[in-house]
Structure 1
Amino acid sequence: MTSALELAFWGSALLLVHVFAGYPICMWLMASLMPQPVRKRDITPRVTIVIAVHDGAGEVDAKLANLNALDYPSQLLDIVIVCDGCGDDTAERCRRFGDPRLRVLEFAERRGKAACLNDGIAVATGELLLLTDIRQRLAPVALRELAANLGDESVGAVSGELQLEDAQTGFARGVDAYWRYEKLIRHAESRGGSTVGVSGALYAMRRDLFRSLPAGTVLDDVLVPMQVVAAGKRVVFEPLALAWDRPSQHPAQEQKRKIRTLAGNYQLIQLAPWLLSPARNPLWFRFVSHKLLRLLAPWLLLLFALSSAALASRHVIYAAAVLLLAVGMALVVAGKLRPTLGKLAPIRLLGAFFYLNLFAAQALVAFVRNRRLHLW
């Protein structure tokens, strides 16, 4: 019995270290020792911007004005907005904008983002696609920077960088810190070959590499780049192509979005089981380490806690692990009860870590129970 508990303790500990530290360090070493630089070129091919939107009337005017301000030849741009069962006047606002480059596709039935992207891209005429969401503001140079990466023939898709602004609470600042950590990993993955995913808020790709998404796909920003890599092209990260968004200020605001996204990883395996095959997935190690083991993290933490508690009387290492976990939970509770404490860096980071892993555990339940995850 003791051997099984020790195996559970050390196995869970090593996997957790790999997920949150070992894998990022491995990607950083690969990027430093075996860099694969992108040969950027200043190119301006024709680009179709595709946006799928559900009830975006409050944001569409600002988004269209933002797209109109992109530093890119206007005659080489066209825009396709796909309205996904909108109950507001999103489509009418688009038409009133009066841009001849803009095409609006309306669907009365709400079908999800993947179906909208399939329909929007089917009518695209650009050599390149720029995919973005309705809410985020883009930097004027964003499209030029993305296109420059696609001037390298080895690159099939490129992700922009999403920056969070106006983080007012301790939780929001913790989420922002986690997102900056995530971007460091993506940057290292890119420098050493390819990233596993892209930012759904802003990415570009070669139109001829797009493959129709399965109905109900939640994570197009993972499946699309993985299809690009499977086709023999790189997926890279461009930190100069910026998009801005606001983080959730409280856990309740972040919960629904994060659970849906994490549950989408389970769905991804169901829709594309080839991702689990080292023979068919060129980024198998990165995909398993970056995506799948993250889903296991809350269960590994639970196994670590239970095994350390059972072994606490056997050795000081196990007792220290119990104490460390107890202190961590006490700080999370203190940060929740006293918002001023929650703004302190160690406590807000612990709080973000706790909630993101709680949401990861809830994601499994959501995937099993909710077959309408694709409806945003």
Structure 2
Amino acid sequence: MANQLFYLSLAVIWLMLLYHMFLMQGGYFHYLRYPRRIAEWERNRQPLPKVSILIPAHNEEVVIERTLKAMVRLDYPKDKLEIVLINDNSSDRTGEIGDSFARRYPFVKVVHTRPPNAGKGKSGALNQGLKQATGEVIAVYDADNTPERKAVYYLVLALQNDPKAGAVVGKFRVINANRNLLTRFINIETICFQWMAQAGRFNWFGITTIPGTNFAIRRSLIDELEGWDEKALAEDTELTIRVYNAGYMIRFFPAAITWEQEPEQWRVWWKQRTRWARGNQYVVLKYMWRLFSLKKKSIMFDLVYFFFTYFLFFMGVIVSDLLFVTNLFVDLKLTVGAVAILLWILAYLLYVTEVMIALSIEKTEFNYKNFLVVLFMYFTYSQMWILLVIYALFLEAKRVLLRQESRWYKTERFSTKRGQGAIKENR
């Protein structure tokens, strides 16, 4: 029995690795092709619509000034731009800083929320901001984001030229990537599993997941969907399902770039990623039971992928590791032969190859230092994700059984100007 479980677990791991290699290839093809779209679309010059940018902010005093400075510098007609900062019951200077920008720039407005309609999380803040927005297109950015000057323009350009797209997603980069080992791990993870995986899924299947930032959605569509689900910790993934189910597609267009700050401490990373994992588990459980009733059948593939990732894949890794370690102390009659060891080694080499392929598309990231980080990353950062998913499953199961209310964790920000050079080089 132990042998069968072990080899089944190994098969699950390999299936996921091969699938991700497939995505990396598709992502690379998309990377080669998407720039041609810009010239083609710009020849079809159309009047630009009014855009409302929603920025939910709760106690974001540390980063909000830098974010608002980036917003007012956007290359988009100011008479068609509306920046809506949602000061969600902050107890620091977030609202004060926002009000100072509103006094200087007529296209900036601040929405101050107060209890009972405040402090309930990002979805609630976005819904409050949506009520005050007047644009035909709604763009969303987190409070720690500094989009490149043409980011919003590219999002709108893609929406204008793709009537089937209900939303357009850009890519994001890590502003503090060189701060420490953790931020280097996150930077590599972002390029591989946000940038390249998104591009690969869009290239092969026409599927993209809305992230929490740097995306634009048609106002008519978000109104039809009645805003964001305030119970969802991963409001972006949940919204993705509803957009597809409404009959629209979501386009991935990496010309739209934003830079964001990532956690610089492990405890902050743990809390943020736990929220992400729990949020995605919520979405899977919410929609899996009505999988075959979804109108857009292609999204079934995405739900199965999330189920595979957050349940089967991690369970496969955990079971194989537990069996192998237990067999060192208790004889489980486990016959881990040369073939199994070879498969483990090949899996590691495949992991390294996948990551380096992804890094090769960013000129500043394909280097010897990152290669060494990737070698180390498999045995540290990747293994931390296993523990985190187990913990998230425990919390989510407890919430469901005890009927607890979901609590939204706001990621702690860090005061830093590091990484500004990287932004300037890419603007």
TM-score above 0.5: yes
Q: 1-side partners of 2:20 and 2:321: how far apart?
A: 22
Q: 2-side partners of 1:322 and 1:163: how far apart?
A: 31
Match of residue 13, structure 1, among 10, 14, 20 = 10
> Taking structure 1 as reference, are residues 95 and 118 closer, same or farther at Cα in structure 2, changes over 3 Å only?
same
Query: What corresponds to 1:153 in structure 2?
Result: 163
Match of residue 406, structure 2, among 363, 372, 376 = 372
Is the CA contact 1:199–1:221 (under 8 Å) kept in the aligned structure 2? yes
2:212 is equivalent to residue 200 of structure 1: yes
C-alpha displacement at 1:322, in angstroms? 8.4
Query: What corresponds to 2:178 in structure 1?
Result: 167
Q: 2-side partners of 1:268 and 1:194: how far apart?
A: 20
Query: What corresponds to 1:332 in structure 2?
Result: none
Query: What corresponds to 1:184 in structure 2?
Result: 196
Query: What corresponds to 1:106 in structure 2?
Result: 112
Match of residue 72, structure 1, among 55, 73, 76 = 76
Q: 2-side partners of 1:233 and 1:77: how far apart?
A: 25
The equivalences for 1:199-348 within 5 A come to 199-210=211-222, 211=225, 212-273=227-288, 276-277=291-292, 279-282=294-297, 283-289=299-305, 291-296=306-311, 297-308=313-324, 309=327, 310-313=332-335, 315-318=337-340, 344-348=373-377
Query: What corresponds to 1:117 in structure 2?
Result: 126
Deviates more, 1:93-102 or 1:68-77: 93-102
Is the CA contact 1:52–1:83 (under 8 Å) kept in the aligned structure 2? yes
Is the CA contact 1:312–1:319 (under 8 Å) kept in the aligned structure 2? no
Q: 2-side partners of 1:188 and 1:31: how far apart?
A: 7
Is the CA contact 1:9–1:307 (under 8 Å) kept in the aligned structure 2? yes
> Taking structure 1 as reference, are residues 266 and 46 closer, same or farther at Cα in structure 2, changes over 3 Å only?
same
Deviates more, 1:155-164 or 1:300-309: 300-309
Query: What corresponds to 1:138 in structure 2?
Result: 147
> Taking structure 1 as reference, are residues 26 and 55 closer, same or farther at Cα in structure 2, changes over 3 Å only?
closer
Q: 1-side partners of 2:321 and 2:333: how far apart?
A: 10
The CA deviation string for residues 56-103 of structure 1, in whole angstroms up to 9 with x for no partner, is: 122222222111100000000112222222112322221221122223
Deviates more, 1:239-248 or 1:199-208: 239-248
Q: 2-side partners of 1:230 and 1:274: how far apart?
A: 15
> Taking structure 1 as reference, are residues 262 and 134 closer, same or farther at Cα in structure 2, changes over 3 Å only?
same
Instruction: Give, as a single letter, the amino acid of the residue that structure 2 aligns with 1:7.
Output: Q
The CA deviation string for residues 97-146 of structure 1, in whole angstroms up to 9 with x for no partner, is: 11222232222231111111112113322111110111011100101111
2:380 is equivalent to residue 351 of structure 1: yes
Instruction: Give, as a single letter, the amino acid of the residue that structure 2 aligns with 1:173.
Output: R
Q: 2-side partners of 1:60 and 1:268: how far apart?
A: 30
Is the CA contact 2:144–2:261 (under 8 Å) kept in the aligned structure 1? no
Structure 1 gap segments, 5+ residues each: 326-339
C-alpha displacement at 1:203, in angstroms? 0.6
The CA deviation string for residues 246-281 of structure 1, in whole angstroms up to 9 with x for no partner, is: 333443331110011111112223444566337545
Q: 2-side partners of 1:103 and 1:168: how far apart?
A: 33
Q: 1-side partners of 2:202 and 2:345: how far apart?
A: 38
Q: For 1:229, what is the secondary structure of its paired residue?
A: helix
The CA deviation string for residues 228-263 of structure 1, in whole angstroms up to 9 with x for no partner, is: 211222212121111112333443331110011111
Q: For 2:253, what is the secondary structure of its paired residue?
A: strand
Query: What corresponds to 1:337 in structure 2?
Result: none
> Taking structure 1 as reference, are residues 248 and 375 closer, same or farther at Cα in structure 2, changes over 3 Å only?
closer
State TM-score, norm by structure 2: 0.75
2:82 is equivalent to residue 85 of structure 1: no
Q: For 2:87, what is the secondary structure of its paired residue?
A: strand
C-alpha displacement at 1:319, in angstroms? 6.1
C-alpha displacement at 1:181, in angstroms? 1.3
Is the CA contact 1:54–1:83 (under 8 Å) kept in the aligned structure 2? yes
Query: What corresponds to 1:334 in structure 2?
Result: none
Instruction: Give, as a single letter, the amino acid of the residue that structure 1 aligns with 2:6.
Output: F
Q: 1-side partners of 2:389 and 2:203: how far apart?
A: 28
Identity of paired residues, percent? 19
Is the CA contact 1:275–1:281 (under 8 Å) kept in the aligned structure 2? no
Query: What corresponds to 1:331 in structure 2?
Result: none
Q: For 1:200, what is the secondary structure of its paired residue?
A: coil
Q: 2-side partners of 1:157 and 1:241: how far apart?
A: 13
Instruction: Give, as a single letter, the amino acid of the residue that structure 2 aligns with 1:163.
Output: R
Query: What corresponds to 2:391 in structure 1?
Result: 362
Q: For 1:287, what is the secondary structure of its paired residue?
A: helix
Aligned-pair Cα RMSD in Å: 3.2
